Amino acid sequence: MRTSRFLLSTLKETPAEASIASHQLMLRAGLIRQLASGLYIWLPTGQRVLQKVQNIIREEMNKSGALEINMPVVQPSELWQESGRWEHYGPELCRFTDRKDNSFVLGPTHEEVVTWLSRYEIKSYKQLPMNLYQIQTKFRDEVRPRFGVMRGREFVMKDAYSFHMNKESLRKTYEVMYDTYCRIFDRLGLTYRPVEADTGSIGGSHSHEFQVLADAGEDIIAFSTESDYAANIEMAEAVAPKESRKAPAKEMTSISTPDAKTIAEVAEFLNTPETSLCKSLVVHGTNQKTGADELVLLVLRGDHELNEVKAEKISGINKPLTMATDEEIRAAFGAGPGSLGPVGFNGRIIVDRTAAVCSDFYCGANKDGFHLGGVNWDRDVPSYEVQDLRCVVEGDPSPDGKGTLVLKHGIEVGQVFELGTKYSQAMNCTVLNEEGKNIPMEMGCYGIGVTRVIAAAIEQNHDDKGIIWPAPMAPFQIAIIPINYNKSDSVKEAADRLYAELTAKGYEVILDDRGERPGVMFADMKLIGVPHSIILGEKSLAEGLAEYEERTSDSKEKLPLAEIVAKIEKALA
RNA sequence: CGGCGAUUAGCGCAGCCCGGUAGCGCAUCUGGUUUGGGACCAGAGGGUCGCAGGUUCGAACCCUGCAUCGCCGACCA
């Protein structure tokens, strides 16, 4: 490719809307342009990267035995009603009607369509297992699109769906996909970790996420210092403290705490650490026996945070988790949210494992402006349950018993699920087994955020000059930078000859034939992150020399022109 | 969906408080000089100041509404 015939579209200045490195660089390097909130055009440079990532994914998926298909973006609403997700998927699901007033959605994912397909195409257990995948555009009307393609509304995803006779077969394919994902992310040159994950609204039982480690990541991952335990913080178990609760040493007393409402304020007012306080949160629940709505009190140690995913999984707590309003709280407790506590509350109380071993603690008095001190479970609060409610914090013991936990930010680039029969049952997707009996197929699903992978790679690989692509993702492998291309015959001749030679060998070469000043060419090639550059100048050429520069280290080396091709071939081998 | 902010040339911004000829830098085009790390000189093109109302002799500027974009939070296979 010659720059004069290419749409390089680089920007010197950073557009104001971009806040993280990958978004800024994708705009500056001319990979993408924003069309509307969460919608992006992929420019030629970006499209080349996108296709490279897609090809690697496709190769590895094909190697794993999966079969590529292509399903429509537009899907009939009836399928979503069949699966039950018409109700459960919120406004994120973009719904519309056609001219005949038939109802459709823009596919945010394709479980319904692929299940519909398999219902017709898979008739016998002899066809199983089968794994179908596509690389396709999805649309999710995100509440808040941000960070460029990291969280766009329209994005490219590789999604695969596997079908099985039984759980053993599903588990086998799950393992194959897990390994395939490792190979894909290894090949892409990313630093990532597979972590235990929540299954979220897609449903299912067993799941791992593939997280690219980067500070800009929106997820938090807990790792063990000693073992390979790793989990999304949503899932990471906060194990029960080993030490048992101390016997009460103090009498319960009421303390006036005017204007102290938050944990930090109360701790400061009482001149005591946050760990000696317990905080109380009120959520909506359903009474297990009567089925009536009720308010449930959740109690955590003052320095800990509620893990909403864990709370939602407790039966009797409404999903999605909804906090009680100030009015509801006042009606039930006779006090506002800043002064709540378990003492005297006669509804359901769920206490976090760590809070449950606190003794002589402080908590709200259920009276505005007052807290209680010297509070003890059992003695002062006779009836309560103990559950794992909180987010883990750094230093917590690892759930597998080895080492302690550290927390890091991650970008979720892939996820593998065991779905089970959630969709096959709801949509009557069955197969005849060896006994001639109709059974719902076991299903798995496996996604990779293709466009997000690119943003994640840039988050991990850039410097102040621009992108430093992992070799397999680079839009071009080699840049030829001729100084005075338009004026010097020797430079032009050498550049054209090298370009022809390297191109004929099958390399992806970009020749900067714009005749720009050297600084402009260097800056552009570094910005778009071409891994290898050949610099040709008239003076060096007169001595038979060319220069080789490598992007990762920005190191330069002069060597005979005749040896440059061999040098490049070695570097790219 | 709540709170906050922005919207003026392709991009980054000033002008608004205090109403009266729409500006700067970068980019683009022309000519010239330059050519090893985002050059210099001279000239040129490019704007319904987000949209709609209102106040006013007169609105980029003041008022009202709406839209879009962004930030923080809630949300998220």
C1'-nearest nucleotide to the CA of A200: B77
C1'-nearest nucleotide to the CA of A519: B37
Enumerate long-range contacts of A168-174, CB under 8 Å, 24 or more apart: A169/A128, A169/A129, A169/A442, A170/A129, A170/A418, A170/A420, A170/A442, A170/A443, A170/A444, A171/A418, A172/A129, A173/A129, A173/A131, A173/A444, A174/A206, A174/A416, A174/A418, A174/A444
C1'-nearest nucleotide to the CA of A312: B75
Following DSSP, what letter does each residue of A439-469 receive, concatenated? EEPEEEEEEEEHHHHHHHHHHHSEETTEE--
Write out the two tokens for A256.
């006036």
Q: Is the CB of A234 under 7 A from strand B?
A: no
Q: Which residue is nearest to nucleotide B74 (CA to C1')?
A: A143
C1'-nearest nucleotide to the CA of A138: B77
Write out the two tokens for A542.
């007169």
pLDDT at A261: 78
Model confidence band, residue A204 (pLDDT cutoffs 50, 70, 90):
low
Q: Which residue has the tokens 């864990």?
A: A310
Distance CA A391, CA A371 (A): 25
Digit-coded pLDDT (tens) for A48-104 = 999 999 999 999 999 999 999 999 999 999 999 999 999 888 888 999 999 899 999
| Burial (Cβ within 10 Å: 0-12, 13-18, ≥19) of residue A13 | exposed
ipTM over 0.90: yes
H helix or E strand, kind and range, residue A496: helix A489-504
pLDDT at A203: 57
Interatomic CA–C1' length for residue A15 and nucleotide B16, angstroms: 24
Q: Which nucleotides on strand B sit less than 7 A from a protein beta carbon?
A: 1-2, 11-13, 25-27, 34-39, 68-77
Q: Is the CB of A160 under 7 A from strand B?
A: no
Sorted by sequence, the CB contacts under 8 Å of residue A516 that are 6+ apart come out as none
CB A476 within 8 A of CB A8: no
Give the least confident one: A44-58, A177-191, A306-320: A306-320
Phi and psi angles of residue A266, each rounded to the nearest 5 degrees, phi first: -65, -40
Digit-coded pLDDT (tens) for A228-264 = 999 999 889 999 999 889 999 999 999 998 877 788 8
Sorted by sequence, the CB contacts under 8 Å of residue A314 that are 6+ apart come out as A350, A387
CATH 3.30.565.10 fits A18-185+416-458, yes or no: no
Domain residue ranges of chain A, discontinuous segments joined by +: 18-185+416-458, 253-387, 476-572
Output the CATH code of domain A253-387.
Answer: 3.90.960.10
Distance CA A216, CA A207 (A): 23
* Residues 515-544 of A with CB within 7 A of strand B: 515-520, 522-524, 526-527, 535-537, 539-540
What is the DSSP pairing of strand A442-449 with strand A154-164? antiparallel
Written out in words, the top-level CATH class of the domain with range A476-572 is alpha beta
Digit-coded pLDDT (tens) for A387-425 = 999 999 999 999 999 999 999 999 999 999 999 999 999
Q: Is A70 helix (H, G, I), strand (E, B) or coil?
A: coil
Is pLDDT at A539 greater than 90 in this prediction? yes
Q: Is the CB of A305 under 7 A from strand B?
A: no
CB A229 within 8 A of CB A397: no
Distance CA A329, CA A91 (A): 28
H helix or E strand, kind and range, residue A293: strand A293-301
CB A177 within 8 A of CB A209: no
Interatomic CA–C1' length for residue A401 and nucleotide B67, angstroms: 56
